[in-house]
Amino acid sequence: MSIFRVILAIIFPPLAVIDKGLGSFIITLLLTLCGWVPGVIAALIIVNRGREYVYS
């Protein structure tokens, strides 16, 4: 997890998870639209969990 991803997850959460898959992007976008804090929390969890959970 890079510091750039963390900062991006705090500023605009959906952009931080765009390479983690479409599902992660949509979930984070919907949570961000519901409220900024849930979107940030979801983005930090998705960014922190690593590549082993990404299904391509």
- Percent of the chain beyond pLDDT 70? 86
Residue 34 in this model has a pLDDT that exceeds 90 = yes
DSSP letter assigned to residue 27: H
- Apex CA 14: angle with CA 2 and CA 56, to 5°? 80
Is 6:44 a contact under the CB 8 Å cutoff? yes
Residue 55 in this model has a pLDDT that exceeds 60 = no
Band of residue 51 on the pLDDT scale cut at 50, 70, 90: low
How far is C-alpha 13 from the geometric centre of its chain's CA atoms?
5
Using a 10 angstrom Cβ sphere, with 0-12 exposed, 13-18 middle and 19 or more buried, the burial of residue 17 is buried
Q: Region 16-42: what's the mean pLDDT?
A: 93
